[in-house]
Structure 1
């Protein structure tokens, strides 16, 4: 028999953002129920899957989709969950299980720089955020202290308090990059949610070099830990609960959500306040699925804005051979970067970008390439050693501007539960392409400074995806061009909040997770203040701030 559950707060999605919102609400004494479409899998199970996988470089291999909670996979072939309408394919990867996609993230926890909130006012591109850096800064700090973020000074983002800990030890290869590039480029350690010392009961990084797809010792923070924290605070979890519809009353207030269990039995969950906290693809998909006579285009979508402004961080790259042995593969996979092109007057003409260096071991990739080439014996050993010791890679992380033509819609194809699959409409615009062109100068100069030979640029026009899904639930003060207000509340429904990287109105140049968490923690504080009868200060548009 189908069960009926209830809570003060019903959170749809158990990823790192939804779980940390649930934790904050539960700590305030509220009853909180988290609904997750996928299964509850332990770190031990995931580590075993990784170790036993024949596709060690496939970061999705430990995370196969459940039939009742499908998500995109592309190896060994595309499973077709995400339908690409073009003109450029948007091959996002995400995980639908307890803890969400941050199980296999790189743990980058960069803050925006202040000007990222005002790009329309300053540079005439994109949009301004509905609030400025100073209003988000306390929530950046709150998120960093929960996760245990390590970072170096001079990140370009002002701080009122120090990082919780010092950076993880610098790998040898990154030390040599920093030393040899110093006359031209400042190479800095990445800001990451990764322990450099014991923190919150978790050990320091020991250099496994498998941050993606999984840290085997939990030195790196992830959504599974966030869920544990929410449960410890008093929240409840219902796994294997694929929410397919939000129900509303005559006043447009949300009254319940409906989910399918693995046997496709429907269940109804009631509550007072509802928080959709799935990612920037599954959240708009759910809103679009929740059609009714009053809202024929789906919920929160009276102005056809749900799913629009899809953004990510496309990358192009350069691989080259250094003139000395650097031996990538010890320590974190993505430890260092160059940040001089994150902001400047050039943003009026082309996309800003970070330059990120990989420290991923070259052994697996080089081995597969040599075997595919038919190389064996002594030649194989010589060339493998050369690649493992000297091969290096740098990529750009490019900003994408919000564009209403880039969007998530419902396709006419159905998944195993009979629900329409999400469909992407995406392209790479001239602004982003111009940033790519500008970055090629940096690629060549970096290779030159490292004595680089055998330069292999990524194929022209081929942009790798970084899985930083944002923009599809954009927040703003104008309901005509946004989905939710500056606090994450849907313009059309006064008890429906959105907590997701999808609410971010621009993508900037930093991985979207910390921004999404900080914005969601700010929303949670607003919700609690409203319920306590203590109004929060009015948000001021970033364009009105100095």
Structure 2
């Protein structure tokens, strides 16, 4: 017989959404147990791994890979954890460790726009959300206080209270972009970020290290590891290296227990009153599908056949160019500012909306590699590095992709070291995305011209990156026939199973999904407490 543990609230996944939902419930007096598939490690080890890594631009390399909780790895080669069924490869970079993927995020903590929740009604595309922006506002505010979010007032998203702190000081690059683009109507907005501009929550202010991704070396930037610390301080218990492989239900359809393996494949059973599935938008639907039974042959929470469907991210194209003046990117945060004027409008009926992100990442490495590849060396190499590293700039978009039921996560025939099937990705783009990318390219050209840009290098046509913003695979909705969870994140099929994940977002909008995921998770936690 497996050993058994129990708690009022059992949370599967220790990422930022699950940890902060767990903290909230623990503070309200519930016993909370958080199960994390991956290992626990501290910032010091991650920073040392980063500094010793030969691949500084590989944001996964500082994070340990565990055979019992595998995650995707693409450099120096693809480990094949995510099986690609096509037609377009979808290769997100996420981490299975205590604290989750926000260890290596850019800390962008945007709110969506009110119109983002009504794009079907307003523009005839996508899906409407079953909640309003006003429903989210207090939980956005709560999340911003917990995470220490700083931002400018001109984001386009209404607020009933100010940000917890003022924005991080502008870099010189950001100042010059703002000054040179303003006459043409391109407003450069300081990004909304979970990054300290002053001492906050016993953490220091940003000191401009410029390696926010893959790790802030001083914890000026919030991450899921800090969220776990807060949950434990509130009384929650964490078990690391606990790979949940099955969710068990009773004859009425209520969740009775979860089963997990430790690294030696010893099985353990955990019972509870309420369960929160808080892995990401790939690992969560994987677990629901793995938990199929005689009663639920298509997997748990899947009477609608929408578990795993409507997979979305934010595809991107970009432009690299040389500005006519020295800007020296690399001083301050890596992603300091954006252009938001194309996030909404009547054009959304025809093509995707997007936000343009202005990079401030150091260009020294990429410039040096390109010059060496051209055979430049010696004194000329040094001169050319100094010239181009001071001027090379890059832009990219964060573009909305519409929910498509054929873009989905399923189970593959491949199994990991514990014998658990790995995820299989089905993904495609369409004309709505392609037209949005073309509009972004026109905007890039205007911006480069205003910066006196030369040597313009656009992304290849039809080749898009992604932003690791996994959404949509367990969408919320009012109708149980076409959604997985209700407006509070409770699964339609199981009254005591909630999902706290960016995967419940019905649409992706045009901004990083983390803050919205946390706000939704906190809203779910309030509902759980009110109905306990």
- Same-fold call, TM cutoff 0.5: yes
Query: Once the 2 structures are TM-superposed, how far is the Cα of residue 64 of structure 1 from its aligned partner?
Result: 2.8
1:65 maps to 65
1:227-306 equivalences under 5 Å are: 227-306=228-307
1:41 maps to 41
2:489 maps to 488
1:432-443 equivalences under 5 Å are: 432-443=433-444
Question: Equivalent residue of 2:531, what SS?
Answer: helix
User: Would you say how many aligned residue pairs link Structure 1 and Structure 2?
Assistant: 531
1:138 maps to 138
1:119 maps to 119
2:422 maps to 421
Query: Once the 2 structures are TM-superposed, how far is the Cα of residue 368 of structure 1 from its aligned partner?
Result: 2.0
Question: Equivalent residue of 1:102, what SS?
Answer: helix
CA deviations 1:177-224 (Å, max 9, x no partner) are 000001121101000000000001000000000100000000000000
1:537 maps to none
Task: Supply the distance in 2 between the matched residues of 1:371 and 1:242 (Cα, whole angstroms).
Answer: 45
Query: Once the 2 structures are TM-superposed, how far is the Cα of residue 152 of structure 1 from its aligned partner?
Result: 0.5
Question: Equivalent residue of 1:269, what SS?
Answer: strand
2:88 maps to 88
1:534 maps to none
Question: Equivalent residue of 2:276, what SS?
Answer: strand
Task: Supply the distance in 1 between the matched residues of 2:425 and 2:164 (Cα, whole angstroms).
Answer: 38
Task: Supply the distance in 2 between the matched residues of 1:21 and 1:370 (Cα, whole angstroms).
Answer: 49
Task: Supply the distance in 2 between the matched residues of 1:479 and 1:16 (Cα, whole angstroms).
Answer: 27
2:474 maps to 473
CA deviations 1:506-534 (Å, max 9, x no partner) are 00001000010001111111111112xxx
Query: Once the 2 structures are TM-superposed, how far is the Cα of residue 2 of structure 1 from its aligned partner?
Result: 4.4
Deviates most, 372-381 or 222-231: 372-381
Question: Equivalent residue of 1:183, what SS?
Answer: helix
2:528 maps to 527
Task: Supply the distance in 2 between the matched residues of 1:414 and 1:347 (Cα, whole angstroms).
Answer: 41
2:8 maps to 8
Query: Once the 2 structures are TM-superposed, how far is the Cα of residue 375 of structure 1 from its aligned partner?
Result: 2.2
Task: Supply the distance in 2 between the matched residues of 1:439 and 1:49 (Cα, whole angstroms).
Answer: 36
1:112-511 equivalences under 5 Å are: 112-184=112-184, 185-511=186-512
Task: Supply the distance in 1 between the matched residues of 2:154 and 2:170 (Cα, whole angstroms).
Answer: 17
Task: Supply the distance in 2 between the matched residues of 1:378 and 1:296 (Cα, whole angstroms).
Answer: 68
Question: Equivalent residue of 1:410, what SS?
Answer: strand
Question: Equivalent residue of 1:447, what SS?
Answer: helix
CA deviations 1:476-515 (Å, max 9, x no partner) are 0111110111111111111100000000000000100001
1:75 maps to 75
Task: Supply the distance in 2 between the matched residues of 1:10 and 1:32 (Cα, whole angstroms).
Answer: 6
Task: Supply the distance in 1 between the matched residues of 2:442 and 2:346 (Cα, whole angstroms).
Answer: 18
Task: Supply the distance in 1 between the matched residues of 2:290 and 2:443 (Cα, whole angstroms).
Answer: 45
Query: Once the 2 structures are TM-superposed, how far is the Cα of residue 373 of structure 1 from its aligned partner?
Result: 2.9
1:26 maps to 26
Task: Supply the distance in 1 between the matched residues of 2:14 and 2:428 (Cα, whole angstroms).
Answer: 30
Question: Equivalent residue of 1:11, what SS?
Answer: strand
1:55 maps to 55
Question: Equivalent residue of 2:319, what SS?
Answer: strand
CA deviations 1:255-296 (Å, max 9, x no partner) are 010111011111111111110000000000000000111111
Query: Once the 2 structures are TM-superposed, how far is the Cα of residue 430 of structure 1 from its aligned partner?
Result: 1.1
Task: Supply the distance in 2 between the matched residues of 1:500 and 1:483 (Cα, whole angstroms).
Answer: 12
Task: Supply the distance in 1 between the matched residues of 2:413 and 2:454 (Cα, whole angstroms).
Answer: 49
Task: Supply the distance in 1 between the matched residues of 2:495 and 2:322 (Cα, whole angstroms).
Answer: 57
CA deviations 1:452-480 (Å, max 9, x no partner) are 00000011111011000000000001111
Query: Once the 2 structures are TM-superposed, how far is the Cα of residue 429 of structure 1 from its aligned partner?
Result: 1.5
Query: Once the 2 structures are TM-superposed, how far is the Cα of residue 382 of structure 1 from its aligned partner?
Result: 1.9
Task: Supply the distance in 2 between the matched residues of 1:238 and 1:20 (Cα, whole angstroms).
Answer: 16
Q: Conserved in 1, the CA contact under 8 Å of 2:313 and 2:401?
A: yes
Task: Supply the distance in 2 between the matched residues of 1:216 and 1:90 (Cα, whole angstroms).
Answer: 30
Q: Conserved in 1, the CA contact under 8 Å of 2:303 and 2:481?
A: no
Question: Equivalent residue of 1:455, what SS?
Answer: strand
Task: Supply the distance in 2 between the matched residues of 1:303 and 1:164 (Cα, whole angstroms).
Answer: 40
Deviates most, 57-66 or 95-104: 57-66
Query: Once the 2 structures are TM-superposed, how far is the Cα of residue 154 of structure 1 from its aligned partner?
Result: 1.5
Task: Supply the distance in 2 between the matched residues of 1:359 and 1:4 (Cα, whole angstroms).
Answer: 50
1:540 maps to none
Q: Which runs of 5+ in 2 are unaligned?
A: none
Cα RMSD after superposing both structures: 0.8
Question: Equivalent residue of 2:176, what SS?
Answer: helix
Question: Equivalent residue of 1:160, what SS?
Answer: coil
Query: Once the 2 structures are TM-superposed, how far is the Cα of residue 379 of structure 1 from its aligned partner?
Result: 2.2
Task: Supply the distance in 2 between the matched residues of 1:446 and 1:483 (Cα, whole angstroms).
Answer: 42
Query: Once the 2 structures are TM-superposed, how far is the Cα of residue 58 of structure 1 from its aligned partner?
Result: 0.5
